[in-house]
Amino acid sequence: MNKSNMDIVHSILCLLRNSSQRKHVFRWLRSLRKDYLFKKKQPWLVFDVIDVLNSLPLEGNTVFEYGSGGSTLFWLRHGAHLTSIEHDQTWYHTLRGQYLSDAALDYRLIQPQYIGHQNLDPADPDLYASSDELFSHHSFRNYCSQIDEFPNNYFDLILIDGRARPSCIKHAHKKVRIGGLLVLDNSDREYYLRMTSTFLRDFDRNIFRGVAAGQAWFTETSVFTRRTL
């Protein structure tokens, strides 16, 4: 048995042992099919969060996302007005060419800037750094700050599932309306919130841990709800 199949078997066993997640076994297996998330138009998030999002009246909502993919198609399928930020040129043109033609979409390619040989802490929201070694000498300042052109309290929902996520939190938190949501994927990565908790002090946090679409491991997605200005 190769490693990929071993990972799948391990994940199935974990799902069956977890009373809150075993309901997703067949759904998760289907999500492993090639291009499933594009055909199904679903985000790469914990299934329980997908269920929460499916329950929301998203039609006409204003949505902003860092990182494009299945989530992009999901928002558009639900009739949201979307601004999507992508850093990868090849991925951007693939998604644009094959899947996207919606007038409700503002899709932006914002690539990082090379800044030389510096060791930047990706946990520091003021440094606009990525933990990916491919971008160890790059700044994502322009990428993270795209949202600054919108008024405060403007978006109904913001998804942070791209690069330099602590810096994205720094710029995004004040753009969420009261009662709106900020969704942070892979929030079990401790450094995302190590230096950003003050930005989220006016939010209530719900943590969803479990199996995610298209992934062979358990992860965590946090949904923050804005309660005050």
pLDDT tens-digit series, residues 165-199: 999 999 999 999 999 999 999 999 999 999 999 99
Amino acid identity for residue 63 in this structure: V
Distance CA 53, CA 134 (A): 32
Give me the domain span that covers residue 192.
3-226
Compute the C-alpha angle 21/59/70, nearest 5°. Answer: 50
pTM: 0.92
User: Shortest CA distance to 75 belongs to which of 181, 147, 167?
Assistant: 181
**For the chain, percent of residues with pLDDT exceeding 90:** 67
Q: Span 50-72, mean pLDDT?
A: 96
What are the pLDDT digits (tens) for 8-34? 776 777 777 777 788 888 888 888 888
Q: What value does the mean pLDDT take over residues 208-217?
A: 84
What CATH code is carried by the domain that includes residue 156?
Answer: 3.40.50.150
Q: Where are the beta strands (DSSP E) in 153-228?
A: 155-160, 176-185, 203-211, 218-226
The residues near 170 (Cβ < 8 Å, ≥ 6 apart) are 125, 126, 144, 196, 199
Confidence of residue 4 (pLDDT cuts 50, 70, 90): low
Structurally, the chain folds into a number of domains equal to: 1
pLDDT above 70 as % of the chain: 95
Residue 176, pLDDT score: 98
